[in-house]
Amino acid sequence: MYAAYPHLAQILRVGLPALLLAQFIIWPIIGLTFPHAGIIVAETTILWFIALYIRRHQLVAEDLLLLNATPGVALLLTAPLAFCCSLIVAELDLYLAQFLRQLDWSMPLSFQKNLLEIQLIRDYAEAPLGLAALVLVPALCEELFFRGFVFTGLYAHYGPRWALLGSSVFFAGSHFNPWQFLPLLVFGLFLGALVHWTHSIYPAILAHAINNLASVAGINLRTYWGLEDFGPSQHLPLHLALLALLALLAGLFLLRRQPTIMPLLIGREASEEAPPAHPPNDN
């Protein structure tokens, strides 16, 4: 039943061209002149590659992309969990940046400038398109790809551990930002855990959107209103960082204990023993 689900070689054959096309062809052509439109076109390009794979192999999109019903309690827990995770990942990013400066391997200033400027909302008329491009579209497209297409394919062929690790590494690497690889990897593991424990893509989409919104809000509050505590370059007070970490761990514990509505893969029990646990290979 799962033979048509993508194994590692197929994931790379679909994913790498999609990501390279989006990042190095579509973005330079559109995004450098119209940044928000460029983001939307680049992100949706990835979905076209998934759609072609699903059509070619005659798969059920709802099953492959884990469009499963989600308990309301799980979604309610996801919102504060995502916010806490966003704070922890931001702290990790700041500490990593400080460490890299000690090694004289800081992110180039031009790269930092581009990352910040692309998240600025310059006027109210721009806000709807900006929020769609910066918050909603990346959350939807990237989750359907990494926690849907990639995670499900790896889970079906190699088991949950490889699915969680592989989808997270691919997610972090796909941003082509080695200076933030570790924070992106941690965030990817968090999103993968949400999918694994809820058997649904929707909590990951929600969490990803909340993280993006927190980043955009922080940069704009710092730029336009001078609220330094919300900016991307300020550490949280230690007691708040510890509180966020404890809340995150407690929330994950509660989420894991919530009953699920659908199995992770239709016709197969969603347990760690169910899929064949052998390392990925291209055969």
Query: pLDDT tens digit string along 53-109?
Result: 999 999 999 999 999 999 999 999 999 999 999 999 999 999 999 999 999 999 998
Bridge partners for 187 per DSSP: none
- Region 9-16: mean pLDDT is 96
- Region 168-181: mean pLDDT is 96
Contact 146, 172 (CB under 8 A): no
Is the pLDDT assigned to residue 269 strictly greater than 50? no
Q: What is the pLDDT of residue 65?
A: 97
Q: What is the pLDDT of residue 279?
A: 52
Q: What is the pLDDT of residue 100?
A: 95
Q: Which residue has the tokens 């730029």?
A: 223
Model confidence, pTM: 0.92
Q: What is the dihedral of CA 55, 155, 162, 83, to 10 degrees?
A: 90
68: left (phi over 0), alpha (psi -120 to 50) or beta: beta
Confidence of residue 273 (pLDDT cuts 50, 70, 90): very low
Contact 118, 35 (CB under 8 A): yes
Q: What is the pLDDT of residue 134?
A: 97
38: left (phi over 0), alpha (psi -120 to 50) or beta: alpha
Bridge partners for 261 per DSSP: none
Confidence of residue 270 (pLDDT cuts 50, 70, 90): very low
Q: What is the pLDDT of residue 266?
A: 61
- Please state the domain extents for the chain: 8-256
Angle, in degrees to the nearest 10, between helices 72-102 and 181-198: 160
Is the pLDDT assigned to residue 278 strictly greater than 80? no
Confidence of residue 180 (pLDDT cuts 50, 70, 90): very high
Instruction: Quote the mean pLDDT of the chain.
Output: 90
Confidence of residue 113 (pLDDT cuts 50, 70, 90): confident
Q: What is the pLDDT of residue 228?
A: 58
Burial 20-56 (b: 16+ CB within 10 A, else e): ebbbeebbeebbeeebbebbbbbbebbbebbeebbee
